[in-house]
Amino acid sequence: MKHDFKGARIETSRVRKGMGVDDLVEHYFNAYNAARIKEACRMLERKILSSDCYVGVSLSGALTPTGLGASCLVTWIENGCIDYISSTGANLYHDTHFALDLPLHQSSPFLDDVKLRKEGLIRIYDIIFDFEVLARSDKYVYRVMRQPEFHDKSMGTAELHFRLGRYVDATEREMGCQGKTVLGAAYRNSLPCFCPAPGDSTIGLNIAALSFDSPYPRVDPTLDVTYSSAIAYAAKMESRSAVLILGGGVPKNFLLQTIPQLDEIMEIHVKGHDYFIQVTDARADTGGLSGATPHEAVSWGKVDPEMIPDAVVCYTDSTIALPLMTAYLLNRVGPRKPKRLYDRKDALLKTLSDEYARVKKGS
């Protein structure tokens, strides 16, 4: 049997003035990582977002300080294109700067950091902001966490961020800048935001400081593992499951480990995630590509081997890929109805608990 290895012919037409991003991607992103961006955009348009598929997104690196929270991620949330998030705590903490209308500035990576320190300036590569931005944000988070609803309560990070998101949403409206934060949009759309390493962020540092002299929220990661697994189980039972991974690290693995938790640990046998898209600049051969490639993830049961053709890894910067993907989808995909998974939290957990009890009873 002869295989057809040839795709569409590469055309040599010129880029036109005024053309849309989706046309640019469709007709001129023909090879290398440009072609991988096109594959990811097409998969999102034609398979993932055209169905009732559950979409989990992981965020690592300093994405929200670049403005990508408001410019892209909030757009995805408001259009029902994201159903739950796994993030570094840093992304969710820096998100609060925008609710408080605190300025961050474009700058240069080639500065004297000793001088910056003396002048009270903080640098995230080529982003600069005053130390006062951190100070005011810290006071804000600390003040919110002292509210009675956080007192001596054990909660997962999804609940912690949902409660924090309510205050962030109110602050956005008070400051006249609604629609600027991931936390605010997640609250309004009842979207769970998990942070699998809560102590590795300024939100976690503020909770630790609270513990010395006042009641404070007691963060229990076990609750997040169970809740995220309940979401993955619902996805596999009701529809399909897609993961969009921006970067790597703990947020990536937290998103993927839900399937081994169900299939291996709880013995609720399900296949891996159905669709896999990752944007990364890491390499697998050095051990730096957290969770490695989708092919390797198959060996762990994290990705359905039958769906490997629907797996795309694009080796580029998330700050390049995400705006392109957002503009492409806005031109080609209509809004989806939000799943409001936080509203369904108790029901999802009960469904998983009942299934686990059934499995244990039969073993």
Average pLDDT over residues 237-255: 94
Give the tens place of pLDDT for each residue, 194-206.
Answer: 999 999 999 999 9
Q: Which residues contact 287 (CB under 8 A, 6 or more apart)?
A: none
pLDDT score recorded for residue 219: 95
pLDDT for 152 equals 84
Whether the per-residue pLDDT at 299 is higher than 90: the answer is: no
At residue 296 the predicted structure's pLDDT band, cuts being 50, 70 and 90, is: confident
pLDDT for residue 41 is more than 90: yes
Question: How do the domains of the chain map onto residue ranges?
Answer: 40-362
3-state secondary structure of 284: coil
Nearest to 273 by CA among 80, 52, 77, 53: 53
Hey, what long-range contacts does 305-312 have (CB within 8 A, 24 or more apart)? 305/272, 306/271, 307/272, 307/273, 307/274, 307/275, 307/276, 310/43, 310/47, 310/274, 310/275, 310/276, 311/275, 311/276, 311/277, 312/36, 312/39, 312/40, 312/43, 312/276, 312/277, 312/278
Helices and strands, number each (H, E), in the chain: 16, 11
Q: Does the pLDDT at position 287 exceed 90?
A: no
Average pLDDT over the chain, rounded to an integer: 93
Which residues make Cβ contacts (< 8 Å) with residue 190, sequence separation at least 6?
162, 338, 340, 341, 342, 343
* Measured distance CA(293)–CA(296) in Å, rounded: 5
Burial of 146 (0-12, 13-18, 19+ CB in 10 A): middle
Of 213, 217, 221, residue with least CA distance to 141: 217
pLDDT digits (tens, 9 = 90+) for 61-101: 889 999 999 999 999 999 999 999 999 999 999 999 999 99
Residue range 40-362 forms a domain whose CATH class is alpha beta
Residue with tokens 């700067």: 97
pTM given for the model: 0.94
Residue 291: pLDDT over 90? no
State residue 290's pLDDT score.
Answer: 54
Which residues in 256-363 belong to E strands, given as ranges? 275-280, 311-315
Tens of pLDDT, residues 141-164: 999 999 999 998 899 999 999 999
Residue partners of 305: CB distance under 8 A and separation at least 6: 272, 298
The bridge status of strand 127-130 relative to strand 121-124 is antiparallel
- Per-residue pLDDT, averaged over 307-319, amounts to 87
pLDDT of residue 213: 87
Say how far apart CA 251 and CA 262 lie, in whole Å.
18
Please determine, for residue 337, whether its predicted confidence score (pLDDT) is greater than 90.
yes
Check residue 129 and report its DSSP letter: E
What's the chain's Rg over C-alpha atoms? 21
Strands 84-87 and 54-59: parallel
DSSP 53-94: -EEEEEE-SS-GGGTHIIIIIHHHHHTT--SEEEE-HHHHHH
How does strand 127-130 pair with strand 105-106?
A: antiparallel
